[in-house]
Structure 1
Amino acid sequence: MLRIRKVFSLALALFHFPLRFSSNPNPKTLKTQARKSPQIQKSNALINSAGRFGDRRVPAAGPRSRYYPVPVPVPIPEEPSNPDVESICSLLSEPSNRSKDLDFLLKEFKQTLSSDFVLEILKKHRTLGKSKTLEFFSWAGFQLGFRLDDPVVDYMADFLGRRKLFDDLKWLLKAVSSNKGRVSTRTVSICIRFLGRQGRVEEALALFETMESEFNCFPDNLVFNNVLYVLCRKDSTGGFVDVAITIFRRIGHPDVHSYSNLIVGLCRFGRLANAVEVFHQMSVSNLAPTRYAANILIGQLCELGGRNQLIEKVKVKDWRRPFDILVPNIWAKSGIETAVEVLWAITKLGLLPSSHVVNGLVSELCRLGSIEEAIEILKMAENRKMRSIDESYTIVIRVLCGLRRMDEACNLFGRMIFLGLKPKLIVYNSIIHSFCKLGNVAEAQDYFDIMNKRRCEPDCVTYTMLIHANCANRKWEAAYELLMEMVGLGWNPHFGTYNLVNGFLKEYGRLDLSQKLERKMEVENLQAYCKAGKLEAAYDKLSSMLAKGFYPPVYARDAFEQAFRRSGRWKIAQELLARLDQIVSKNSSQA
């Protein structure tokens, strides 16, 4: 099978490459030609990193049809695996050899054991299984006196940690160190990280404190970072924050992860002042925190301003009768100001927090009245092409509409359309409501038309605002059309809205339109009752319609009939429908 695969790959190479092969190409010939051709050397590098490509000569984009070669693969034969490794794997996997002693079973391979050889077999753990892998490593370790290279010990530590075999993990470290083997800092960091993931914070800290005395291994930044990760992010009690600060001060040259882990730990347990101080130290070193640490820090500062209102109650106890007084809360403002400072410092370092954090910060700034600063942050997010900033636009536009700063609100609305964002219903309603309050019904109608063109469905609030605004300007025709459209869409208007429009119709002598409006509402209410299964209300509604001389259209009658048939109460509805048929036939005969 391997030979067929090689022949097939060589045939592909002959088809794709304009190279002169011999009549019987072989892998050595291919390697020689690839070594001579710089173009093929480049394609080999691409193959090793990105996989296989097909050979095409693609025309370049532009007015002139120039052709350039796409990197093409050179088939490199697969290196054969070590036959001793395959033999050991087959012996260990054989069911009949499960009860046999490994020392007897593998006695022929004792002389060929080495660290690289052991590592190759350990990488076959999917074939061997967990128990056989552990048995082989124990046997090979005793054969080599546990004087193994770092990659073998690191691999085994990772193998044991992923399977939560922490007792075996401790045995591994002691076995290597007691036999004058070398325990690397990478091995210790792997053990600390896996212990921390399982919540064994004290064990991870104990391993860190004893690594120098027991294993003669001095911590580097990798070990420090893993310890800080465990103490700051995996501890749920908060009792190791001071220990984490002490360990952090022992680091000679802290890196990004050292600072970021400490910032996260301080933020998790409410020590925001210390977290901001650590961030300033980090920015002085021209280091940007991780995005997760930046999100935690800014988010916690925003929540500090949100939890503490601008005005808070203070209890006065010095008097005989204690009482409360209202005082301004400076912490609410200072927390947001610090969050803004951190945001600008982070952006200068080339990092941008998540859109959720930016939205929260913009919301708090608008709540505290710092709208200009919120707009500046919004422009920065737009220039950095941040995703999901439509929520920030929504917040700022609503606040501007509330302050009747319509020019700025409309400009931001235009920016949303230009950026391809889809404004939500609440944005349209805020703009329409503000224009209606200002008496500018024409502008409100324009945004209502934009709303329909952009397929944002209006709701009952949208129609109600426009109807009342048109009635305030005595434009009863437009109000009547909007109300009819609203009822046709299934929105039930408020009683006051209906009376307002109906009053204008009667005032101007349009009793026909008033009657049409009333009939339309009766029919829509009848359909709504039938759809909701409110049969008693539907029966009463149809009876009142017949008493007023309103006869429902065919589709309303069919809905009424189907609703009663589904509920098994068809006999009750049959009498009313028979009465309706008699009235309709009588009126048709008179006509």
Structure 2
Amino acid sequence: MNRATSISISSSSSSSSSSYFHFLRLLSSSSSSSPTIIIPTRPFPDYSPKKPSIQDTLFVSQLLSSLHSLHHPNPNNLSLLLKPYHSKFKHSHLIWVLMDIKYHSQLVFDFFHWAHLRTHPSLESLCILIHISVSSNHLNMAYNLLFQYWDTKKSNLFYDDLTRFTHKLIYTYKYWGSDPNVFDLFFNVLVQVGLFLEARQLFHKLLPYGVLVSLDSCNLFLTRLSNEYPQMAITVFNEYPQMGVCWNTMSYNIILHCLCQLGKIREAHNLLIQMEFKGILSDVVSYGTVITGYCRIGELGKVFKLMEEMQRKGFKPNKYIYNNIISLLCKHGAILEAQRVMEEMKINRVFPDNVVYTTLISGFCKCGNVLPASKMFDEMCRMKIVPDSVAYTSMLHGFCQTGKVVEARRLFAEMLSRGLEPDEVTYTALIDGYCKAGEMKEAFSLHNQMVHKGLSPNVVTYTALVDGLCKQGEVDVANELLHEMANKGLQPNIYTYNTLINGLCKIGNIVQAVKIMEEMDMAGFYPDTVTYTTLMDAYCKMGEMAKAHELLRTMLSKGLQPTIVTFNVLMNGFCMSGMLEDGERLMKWMLEKGVKPNATTFNSLMKQYCIRNDMRATTDIYKGMHTQGVMPDKNTYNILIKGHCKARNMKEAWYLYKEMVEKGFSLTAASYNALVKGFYKRKKFVEARKLFEEMRMKGFVAEKEIYDIFVDVNYDEGNWETTLQLCDEAIEKYLVQKT
């Protein structure tokens, strides 16, 4: 770059520079980047500069003689050569000199720089230099002269500035350059500096002269408008074809994105369909944009329909599309389907990134299925994808929600060892885990550590601590914590109150819980469905179904709608009270009203029928569960396995056991005990021993009866070491721990 250029662009930003180089690449490589010449309705004016006086003519002639005598001009020797002309040089001389040397571009730039240091160039001379730069293919110089001028102008722009500049550029066009790219460059600069209204005005001002701004510049205009003024982008998109602009795939993709940003997903879908009818080829970006829009509004059906259509056309979904679909499926709770989509990604050689793994890990953890989340976390590490703080926090949350505080503590230590800084969410997840496990000392220690690091505990943190204290019966300490929270400017919210009420209900202090609910009303936090459901649950567990019904009526009278949790609480109450007929009537009423039961609803009924040893009724309910499209959960399998073992249906119990393991669910200690005893009684010793060893390996406690069985078996087989080991275990678990 020559010296003149480097000085003229001193105020240009780096972002403008990158945009400029992008524009130059388009200008040199794309056929659509040059302005289109259309039939003009107005000719470009002839250039007629002011005639110099005799004295000026003599001065310019002498100056030109000096310039022509310089064989190898450069800024330094030019300045020395022209020193005698310093005092008499005027800006009007500049144009007359340029008229003579306009085909010697390097000399033009050097002389302009010399003149610029002595007198401020006129608007006309600036436009002349821009024309010479473009026509001699010095686009860098032209772009930066334009950018510097308009970037400075935009903070103090007058209404006629664009008119004056455009007039001068048009006036000087015919004589000084006649290259229409100068107008495209001008339009591009106006867009880059954010003068969108001025860019639109320029577009229309050029049409009478037969100049149509290039498609690439129009696309740049659409892109910038879509980010800042999306409605104007749509207007321009609809308006410009009437002026002769023929939009391409990129143009349509910009507007598809724009419509989706505005929430007009169906309009975007219609535009995608119109592309085909208008002969515009859609691509993976077109489909990906609309698919992402439907993902944002949660329309799974439309998403999969578009995916099929896209793949029929031979387009391969990219990582961005897969990521959005997986995220949507996780939000809908369809975690297994999301996992299948990730497997499809791998088959198509689109490799999952940190975002995909973290989304799935979070999804599995939120639904309490930590085992597949943990496997995915390990796979992520094997694939050399480094988990970030979000991935660690998701796993921590999952472990804590399922009571696996030891694993959570280990993972937290690993996170710190990798140099990752936990935030408020991470600390709160672990504090909540400690509180749920009743380890309040550790919870408060972590709270203090959090404060020491400069992190501020939020309402969720305090709510977790309040919940833990209430569950331990320390209601007074919990109330003190609420006061401390208020003193720090954190107002308890409805979740805090609900947590306090839930904690009180858990320890059977319903009177105090009702009192807190009354205080909520006074504080302006009106009890919600969760509040009423929590109290109903407490009454149901106490067998006071009449009081639970009364609360339901109060709740309905206040316009609060019961949730599936509310119905599950009632169902559990009926079943625990032996009122199975009422439970079945509730199920029937739910189905009639379009309230879809979930696994917990069915589990309550199946559990009670299993207790009654009525496996036929249990099986009917299980079949009804599948008919309603409700997937069994961990509790479903454990209830059924124990029921079938009790009824000595070991073949069915074994089948269910294998199915639940395949789905990533784990047996409870009670289910292991039931299976081991069931198989032993049916003389299935291999299966019984396998399950016994498996439950010991997982740290579950076997019943004393089972220890007695396998002590005898190993003694009879002569396995003295195993016999002694089992004796020691039994003594430790059933004698030492009880004393």
TM-score w.r.t. length of structure 2: 0.37
TM-score normalised by the chain length of structure 1: 0.44
